[in-house]
């Protein structure tokens, strides 16, 4: 049961219940086991929805459904997956996308990526972990996959008191799959890859970059498997350089380049150091993309993270030749969009240059935004033209 007035946010569409909103005298949180399913009731004892609870976390409950006739279980999950699938099938020409994006698909704590007939799922909360069997059953019913992998290895699971593991749920999960995007067939490692294997969220921004790539010298920093760089190469870039600290990511990029007959220079190392080294070598580029990992995972990381974004944008801009383009990305929800554009602006001033914002990118539609949950709007991508000041 909630305290008086605390149902308002849920009624406005949000899915989270914070521990201080619960009437713990009537319903002590400690009486619940992590992941337990409950009915959420207002202070007037009105049914608000079904949720799962974790007494260990600040977000002590997440709403699974508001219809009293559909308690959490396989049939609710089947319904959710069908609704999610309908949008992806409408928008995507081939079955390669994020099928379920947590809260924004009304499936709090669950992510499912689709690689043709293979699914890779990630559970982030105890409440979803408790429904693991039903999630698999529902996916089998809606998608009929040949293989499913649980990639339950994210560090956020520790906050929920969950172990981290990678486990085959169904069939034979291949080590590598092929993902077609932007005219390139990418070789993508699943179990050994990052996240679920592929960053589907950046697909639109990769297309944005490719549109400007013909004839250009392109630098793809934090390239992972060469996703931006190789699409730029396919679009006719004069030369492409990818930088990443992960040897296996660059190996995948090399395989993709060979299989697609594309040329790319692959540099392994810390991005900050590599950018300094390239600058010292007097290398110049016309198009630079920076797509770092989240430097601000939690609010308390903000000051340090912001400093890292500022430094990175300056190092990247330094590499740009006259009239070059910088695509500056961040997947840190806690970095406001204005803070990222401000970082670029400061970098420009520091270098005595002038930056113009000429394009704004977003997370791809298979990562929808839940308008009541700001945290689901996390990806920022800004395309700047950088000219010499006069």
Give the strand order in the sheet containing 239-244: 265-268, 239-244, 217-221, 285-290, 320-330, 380-388, 353-361
The 273-292 site mask, x for binding ligand SAH (CB under 6 A), equals ------------------x-
Please tell me whether residue 183 binds ligand SAH under the rule CB under 6 A. no
Please tell me whether residue 309 binds ligand SAH under the rule CB under 6 A. no
Among 103, 181, 244, 339, binds ligand SAH (CB under 6 A): 244
Q: Which CB atom, from 202 or from 363, has the smaller least distance to ligand SAH? A: 202
Give the SS3 label for residue 108. Answer: coil
Q: Which CB atom, from 21 or from 366, has the smaller least distance to ligand SAH? A: 366
- Please, what is the angle between helix 337-350 and helix 302-318, to 10°? 50
Residue 242 falls in the annotated catalytic set? no
Please tell me whether residue 43 binds ligand SAH under the rule CB under 6 A. no
Using the contact rule CB under 6 A, the part of the chain among 30-38, 123-131, 138-146, 245-253 near ligand SAH is 245-253
Please tell me whether residue 224 binds ligand SAH under the rule CB under 6 A. yes
Please tell me whether residue 295 binds ligand SAH under the rule CB under 6 A. no
Please tell me whether residue 202 binds ligand SAH under the rule CB under 6 A. yes
- The residues, any chain, with a CB within 8 Å of residue 303's CB and separated by 6 or more, are none
The 110-139 site mask, x for binding ligand SAH (CB under 6 A), equals ------------------------------
100's enclosing H/E stretch is: strand 96-101
Phi, psi of 199 (to 5 degrees): -95, 85
Using the contact rule CB under 6 A, the part of the chain among 9-17, 181-189, 219-227, 371-379 near ligand SAH is 219-227
CA distance 238 to 225: 19
Phi-psi region of 113 (alpha: psi -120 to 50; beta: other; left: phi over 0): beta
Burial readout 275-302 (b: 16 or more C-beta within 10 A, e: otherwise) = beebeeeeeebbbbbbbbeebbeeeebb
- Give the burial class of 263: count Cβ atoms within 10 A of its Cβ; 0-12 exposed, 13-18 middle, 19 or more buried: exposed
End-to-end CA distance of the chain: 64
- The residues, any chain, with a CB within 8 Å of residue 387's CB and separated by 6 or more, are 322, 323, 353, 354, 356
Among 71, 180, 293, 338, binds ligand SAH (CB under 6 A): 293
Looking at residues 253 to 272 of the shown chain, list those that interact with ligand SAH (rule: CB under 6 A).
270-271
Q: Are 260 and 185 in contact (CB under 8 A)?
A: yes
DSSP 346: H
Among 222, 295, 309, 382, binds ligand SAH (CB under 6 A): 222
Among 16, 52, 101, 228, binds ligand SAH (CB under 6 A): 228
What are the DSSP calls for 373-387, one per residue? -GGG---EEEEEEEE
Using the contact rule CB under 6 A, the part of the chain among 5-13, 42-50, 152-160, 223-231 near ligand SAH is 223-231
Using the contact rule CB under 6 A, the part of the chain among 23-31, 61-69, 194-202, 357-365 near ligand SAH is 194-202
Please tell me whether residue 81 binds ligand SAH under the rule CB under 6 A. no
Q: Which residues bind ligand SAH (CB under 6 A)?
A: 194, 199, 202, 222-224, 227-228, 244-246, 249, 270-271, 291, 293
Q: Catalytic residue numbers? A: 331
């Amino acid at each position: 049961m909630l305290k008086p007035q605390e149902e308002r946010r849920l009624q406005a569409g949000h899915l989270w219940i914070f521990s201080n909103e619960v009437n713990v005298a009537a319903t002590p949180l400690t009486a619940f086991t992590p992941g337990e399913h409950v009915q959420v009731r207002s202070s007037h004892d009105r049914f608000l929805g079904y949720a799962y609870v974790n007494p260990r976390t600040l977000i002590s409950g997440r709403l699974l459904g508001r219809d009293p006739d559909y308690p959490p279980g396989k049939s609710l999950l089947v319904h959710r997956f069908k609704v999610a699938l309908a949008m992806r099938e409408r928008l995507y020409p081939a079955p390669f996308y994020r099928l379920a994006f947590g809260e924004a698909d009304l499936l709090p704590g669950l992510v499912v990526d689709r690689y043709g007939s293979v699914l890779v799922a990630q559970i982030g909360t105890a409440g979803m972990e408790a429904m693991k069997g039903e999630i698999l059953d529902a996916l089998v019913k809606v998608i009929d996959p040949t293989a499913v992998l649980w990639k339950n290895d994210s560090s956020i699971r520790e906050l929920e008191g969950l172990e981290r593991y990678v486990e085959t749920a169904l069939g034979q999960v291949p080590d590598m799959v092929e993902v077609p995007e932007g005219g390139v067939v990418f070789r993508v490692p699943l179990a050994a890859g990052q996240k679920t294997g592929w960053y589907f969220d950046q697909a639109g921004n990769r297309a944005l970059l490719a549109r400007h790539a013909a004839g250009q010298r392109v630098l793809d920093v934090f390239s992972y498997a060469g996703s931006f760089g190789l699409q730029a190469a396919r679009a006719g870039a004069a030369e492409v350089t990818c930088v990443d600290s992960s040897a296996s990511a660059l190996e995948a990029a090399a395989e993709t380049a060979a299989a697609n007959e594309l040329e790319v220079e692959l540099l392994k190392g810390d991005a900050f150091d590599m950018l300094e080294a390239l600058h010292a070598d007097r290398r110049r580029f016309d198009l630079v993309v920076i797509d770092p990992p989240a430097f601000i995972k939690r609010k308390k990381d903000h000051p340090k993270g912001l400093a890292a974004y500022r430094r990175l944008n300056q190092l990247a801009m330094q590499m740009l030749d006259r009239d070059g383009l910088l695509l500056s990305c961040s997947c840190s929800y806690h970095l406001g969009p204005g803070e990222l554009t401000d970082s670029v602006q400061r970098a420009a001033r520091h270098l005595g240059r002038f930056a113009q914002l000429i394009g704004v990118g977003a997370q791809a539609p298979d990562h929808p935004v839940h308008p009541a949950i700001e945290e689901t709007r996390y990806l920022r991508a800004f395309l700047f033209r950088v000219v010499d000041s006069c």
